[in-house]
Amino acid sequence: MFDPSSTLFPPIAPSRHGMLAVDDVHTIYWEEVGNPNGIPVIFLHGGPGAGLSPQHRRFFDPEQYRVILFDQRGAGKSTPLGECRNNTTQLLIDDIEKLRVMCGIEQWLVFGGSWGSTLALAYGQAHPEHCLGFVLRGVFLCTKAEIDWFLDGARWFHPEVHAEFVEPIPQAERGDLLQAYVKRIMSDDPAVHWPAVRAWSRFEGRRVFLLPQAEDPPSDALDLGVGRLESHYMANLGFFSDEQLINNIDRIAHLPVVIVQGRYDVICPPVSAWRLHQAWPGAVLKMIPDAGHGAMEKGISRALVAATEQFKRHRGFA
């Protein structure tokens, strides 16, 4: 039962979990929570590379939803951690389909935030026949403009954070911070790649919330997953053609969607959510006036739970 005084459902343990070998390199961790006869939903985490948290299970009524969650290639409990070989958006889409078939699900609600929203759109456009609808947070369309903002726009709002990120890079390489970091992050030398992945992860993590938060303890798994996979996907523009996710919106435009966006999100600025809303007839946009990028900011988590509650009642968001 949902506690109205909280923004999330109570903590819940997986009813099933396991490892699925998806090719000769990667094995992905998956888990299931909730009612095995409930509305199926696939949860797509952010990053790329950020992995799952137990909090992610709590956006859904466990009496009404059957929730499938997984660590994407190279992230969390999936192995090998931080591996960029055989790691593309199309292969992640294939993994989602393998999970759907393994679980015997015909159609499911697709729920994703940040990079998870990117992957949700890409998956939906590849397999619209298997989607019931979408809940998207902190929209990221993986365009060059958004990637440039992520790396260089930070100096306009967090100049001290940006300065700390730039400081280890020689002056001659600062004209292309992405490639400068990719070179270091992908180095085989731990003395080179560990400082780089930690700097990348810290650069992002310090800008997630609107209001200052206590910093989480350092996590090698998070730093390596986020540092390696984010830089890998950004360097390849998400393996998308120019404006692919907007240009192909007609493939899913008949499906319901709610978009939850923090007004002061400096990781994935609101213009992307607005563009998606404008391109998608019938899309519901919830602009949260007192939030940044974090899924666990109260206004955002409350809106996400409200969306899943509305969907279970009406199979839509209108």
Q: Which positions are catalytic? A: 114, 265, 293
Q: Phi, psi at residue 6, to the nearest 5°?
A: -105, 165
What's the one-letter identity of residue 157?
F
Q: Could you tell me which residues come within 8 angstroms of residue 291 by beta carbon, excluding any fewer than 6 positions away? A: 210, 262, 263, 264, 265, 297, 298, 299, 300
**Per-state percent for the chain, helix, strand, coil, to nearest 5:** 45, 15, 40
Q: Could you tell me which residues come within 8 angstroms of residue 53 by beta carbon, excluding any fewer than 6 positions away? A: 45
Q: In whole angstroms, what is the distance from residue 178 CA to residue 189 CA?
A: 19
49: left (phi over 0), alpha (psi -120 to 50) or beta: left
Kindly provide the residue ranges of all beta strands, DSSP E only, lying in 26-80, ordered along the sequence: 27-34, 39-44, 65-70
Nearest alpha-carbon partner for 238 in 77, 122, 111, 109: 122
The tokens for 52 are 């799952």
Helix (H/G/I), strand (E/B), else coil: 104:
coil
